[in-house]
Structure 1
Amino acid sequence: MNKNILAIKNLTKQFAGAKRPSIENINLSLSQGRCLGIVGESGSGKSTLARAITGLIPVSSGEIYFEDRCISKFNFSQYKKIYKEIQMIFQLPRESFNPSRTLGDSIVLNLKNFGITGNYKNNAISLLNRCGLDASFYDKYPNEVSGGECQRAAIARAIAASPKLLICDEATSALDMIVQKKIIALLNSLKEEMGMAILFICHDISLVHYMCDDVAVMKSGHIVEKNVAGQIIHKPKNEYTKALIEASNIY
């Protein structure tokens, strides 16, 4: 049995001035080499969960364990030491790149930040190649490529340090359906190749079904159902899960 990369225990986050928690009593685990989908409509707490895991926001209560280390109590300098092992890609890839840097330069910067030595340009081009982009993309700027190409470059940058956990926060939502499936195929291929765990956050349960081994359904900051993907899709128990499936194009 693969070991847990991520374990979340009774996690709650309530923002100052809010009437209720954004997420409340979340319990989840994710094993090495598996993909866990977090699905729910906008405002369900999915992105708050991702931001808590990456230390972008402090938690109100509960614990987040990464490889048995309680990272929810880490300060910034402690989090910085594990960023090499936890990487994240976002819904709008262009906004995650410095517009004044080429895609290749941005990947090289990640390599340097994580202390990876060697021929930086060759390593960056190799990463682009692994993500389906040829060497010409090294010298292109974010505004010179399509959304799908930019997301591939963002994935190349994220895997530069061979992370153990990749968090995808609505990473395919801004792409058309054909490009979405190509990006998902790339992520699945990299997961198998690298043995990393993926936390795939998405509002579209049909994409989660296509991508993930396990699924947790979120509504109003709570997990209302979790199971292996096939059981969630074919034998849902919660009425909200059933509504998500009925509204999707799975069938």
Structure 2
Amino acid sequence: MSARSTSPVPGRLGPWQYLQNAIYYLHVGVATLLIGLCGLPFVAVRGRQAANTVATRWIGYMLWAARLHLGVTCEVRGTPPTDDCIVAAKHQCFLDILVIAHALPRRAFIMKREVMRVPVMGWYAWKVGCIPIDRSRGRDALRAISTEVNGRIASAEGLGQLIIYPEGTRTRPGERRDYKHGTGTLRAATGLRVVPVAVNTGLFWPRKGWGVRPGRAVVEFLPVIEPDMPRQAFMPRLQAEIEVNSDRLMAEAGFRQDAT
């Protein structure tokens, strides 16, 4: 479906705003290196718990820097889960990754293997329990992830909050993509409840991360979908919950969309 949409903040960014964007990325790049390196000894001794502590402080610092340099503030609505579960979220940009991760005490992402090879922060991703996925393996990759997740659920440490993006990629505000079956497959294989998440972050933070606009971004944790929901009803329900509520959050921020 195509759409004609308007932004809540029309017009192009000025030179000063682009300079602010550059200053932000330089700032957080240096901070990432320093925070990551300073936390290494702590994590080496205390493992995942320490890695989560360092990650929380790093993410919080990045969100603070976004307020300072870019005028972007973030609001979390609903109740972030604290138990073992799947968090299925709308994904519009890097900002929603930060906000969702900061709201969860034991977050772990299913992410592309290449991302986990990034120096310093890729190592932290491993330590907090992120699970790499090789998309070229298709269903075999999902089976391997399901086995890994079930093993963690049965362990003394537990799984935590496993974050997955059902669309499989970032989408522009108003863009519609079919949801991939991975969330439903993982839910069926593990028996975990699913917490949908709606966002409007893409209105302020573009997909490619350049040209950020000031404003108040919202991430909303929606009511839980329990494991006893019939399998054939789950994916339509998940998609409806996320899309309808993301549209609502974007409309609150002034976004309008007209189908063509």
TM category (shorter chain) comes to: 0.3 to 0.5
Q: Would you tell me which structure has more helix in proportion to its own residues?
A: 2
- TM-score of the superposed pair, with normalisation by structure 1: 0.40
Q: Given the two structures, how large is their TM-score scaled by the length of structure 2?
A: 0.39
**Higher relative contact order (Cα pairs below 8 Å, separated by 6+ residues):** 2
